[in-house]
Amino acid sequence: MKRAFSGVQPTGNIHIGNYIGALKQFVQLQNEMETVYCIVDLHSITVPQNPKELQEHTLDVAALYLSVGLDPKKSIIFVQSTVPAHAELAWILTCNSYTGELSRMIQFKDKSKEKESAPTGLFTYPLLMAADILLYDAQYVPVGNDQKQHIELTRDLAERFNNKYGDTFVVPEYKGTKVGARIMALDDPTNKMSKSAENEHSRISLLDTPSKVKKSIMRATTDSDNEIRFDEENKPGISNLLAIYSVFSGLDIKEIERKYAGCGYGQLKKDLVEVVNDSLVDIQKKYFEIRKSDELLEILREGTKKAQNISEETMIRVKEKIGLVRL
Ligand code: ATP
Ligand code: LTN
């Protein structure tokens, strides 16, 4: 049986980019293979966090996982820090990695760019991510395309370890969506939609109100030729809106182009507001029910147990290979 593994950071503001690039795939894969989904709180502390907010955001993301359709009967859902093997394997991988390969990571370069001295955790972040994946023998990693380079590094680390110590890890593959592997910021379609961008209208969060969604879409940056056509290079704004439309409506991009042939951007935006809000209403309704229920904690506790069982077996294998004693 094949297995997929992925994670999302509990940093609040989960947006439709995260949903389209990652969460939506998580849900689809539940019916095709074993699925393990994590809330990666240890990754989020690579930058300063308010402890109270971190706890809240961890449960928020867990509730969002369930609201978008993850089913605890089909998927293992848990919080990273409740399974100590993640940090343990990350250390072992650290000792089998090179500073040169970590310095090449685009996310590290971006996030440390304006800092005089970058936090060490930001630098070693991809090793913890590799540990997450390798612990569960995952063949597939559904993520947005900004994470592709980290998956490449995970593959290199797994292959290096297997060559040095003999077959130990499954070498995982990136799994991206055809449409929407990189949803762009609404105010600047040359940048990816991000949780941390200052302008709140650059993104649509899954918990945004209908009026905020309307404002963000109606203000979205487009171009001046008034032709509704998918062309990422020359028309990044309209192409981004078409991708979002396609994912939320289930229509393919060609059908949407036909539907809006001869129409202005205003009409497309107005309809997109409706399409997005219709989907968000359902997600939000479930979210507010689940977030305050005791069931949420129960599901996470159950997930921890299952994740511990799998990861402990991997750690026994790994420790034996490198010569750590078992008493
Ligand atoms: P951000 O850049 O928005 O702060 P992130 O990438 O740092 O988010 P996560 O919350 O851990 O952090 O991302 C969760 C998932 O969402 C990852 O699989 C990531 O690749 C995906 N993702 C993030 N932004 C986008 C986007 N704009 N389009 C598609 N997928 C995205
Ligand atoms: N680095 C990812 C989050 C992440 C992840 C993982 C994704 C941490 N561990 C394991 C897939 C598999 C991000 O920032 N989006």
- DSSP β-bridge partners for residue 38: 7, 78
Tell whether 134 and 65 lie within a shared domain.
yes
Cα 296 off chain centre by:
20
Token duo for residue 166: 């003999």
CB atoms within 10 A of CB 233: 6
Q: What is the spatial distance between Cα 49 and Cα 44, in angstroms, rounded to a whole number?
A: 8
Using the Cα atoms of residue 152, residue 12, residue 307 and residue 83 in order, give the sign of their dihedral: positive
CATH value at residue 211: 1.10.240.10
Q: Judge whether 133 lies within some domain.
A: yes
Tell whether 14 and 149 lie within a shared domain.
yes
Tell whether 50 and 135 lie within a shared domain.
yes
Tell whether 302 and 173 lie within a shared domain.
yes
CB atoms within 10 A of CB 234: 10
Quote the pTM value.
0.96
Tell whether 318 and 248 lie within a shared domain.
no
With a 6 Å cutoff on the Cβ, whether 150 touches ligand 1 is no
The pick from 3, 6, 44, 57 for probing ligand 2's pocket by mutation, whose C-beta has the most ligand atoms within 8 angstroms, reads 6
Q: Judge whether 194 lies within some domain.
A: no
Q: Is 265 helix (H, G, I), strand (E, B) or coil?
A: helix
Number of domains observed in the structure of the chain: 2
Tell whether 284 and 298 lie within a shared domain.
no
Token duo for residue 209: 């109100």
Tell whether 28 and 138 lie within a shared domain.
yes
Q: What is the spatial distance between Cα 267 and Cα 246, in angstroms, rounded to a whole number?
A: 15
Q: Is 171 helix (H, G, I), strand (E, B) or coil?
A: coil
Q: Which of 313, 284, 306 is nearest to 82 (CA)?
A: 306
The pick from 79, 93, 129 for probing ligand 2's pocket by mutation, whose C-beta has the most ligand atoms within 8 angstroms, reads 129
The pick from 108, 145, 146 for probing ligand 1's pocket by mutation, whose C-beta has the most ligand atoms within 8 angstroms, reads 146
Tokens 């990861």, residue? 311
Q: What is the spatial distance between Cα 18 and Cα 22, in angstroms, rounded to a whole number?
A: 5
**Is residue 195 flagged as an active site residue?**
yes
Q: Judge whether 304 lies within some domain.
A: yes
Cα 191 off chain centre by:
17
Residue 9 alpha carbon, nearest atom of ligand 2: 3
Token duo for residue 150: 């980290």
Burial call 109-120: b when 16+ CB within 10 Å, e when fewer: eebbeeeeeeee
Tell whether 29 and 52 lie within a shared domain.
yes
With a 6 Å cutoff on the Cβ, whether 10 touches ligand 1 is no
Q: Is 26 helix (H, G, I), strand (E, B) or coil?
A: helix
Catalytic residue selected from 24, 111, 214, 269: 111
Residues in the chain: 327
Tell whether 13 and 123 lie within a shared domain.
yes
Q: Judge whether 186 lies within some domain.
A: no
CA-based Rg of the chain, rounded to a whole angstrom? 21
**Is residue 111 flagged as an active site residue?**
yes
Supply φ then ψ for residue 173, to 5 degrees: -120, 145
Tell whether 160 and 237 lie within a shared domain.
no
Say how many Å lie between the CA of residue 184 and the centre of ligand 1. Answer: 11
Q: Judge whether 327 lies within some domain.
A: no
Catalytic residue selected from 24, 192, 214, 269: 192
pLDDT tens, the chain, 327 aa long: 899 999 999 988 899 999 999 999 999 999 999 999 999 999 999 999 999 999 999 999 999 999 999 999 999 999 999 999 999 999 999 999 999 999 999 999 999 988 889 999 999 999 999 999 999 999 999 999 999 999 999 999 999 999 999 999 999 999 999 999 999 999 999 999 999 899 999 999 999 999 999 999 999 999 998 899 999 999 999 999 999 999 999 999 999 999 999 999 999 999 999 999 999 999 999 999 999 999 999 999 999 999 999 999 999 999 999 999 999
Q: Domain of 254?
A: 200-288
Using the Cα atoms of residue 14, residue 38, residue 24 and residue 17 in order, give the sign of their dihedral: positive
With a 6 Å cutoff on the Cβ, whether 148 touches ligand 1 is no
Tell whether 274 and 247 lie within a shared domain.
yes
Is the CB of residue 180 less than 8 Å from the CB of residue 244?
A: yes
Q: Judge whether 164 lies within some domain.
A: yes
Tell whether 225 and 143 lie within a shared domain.
no
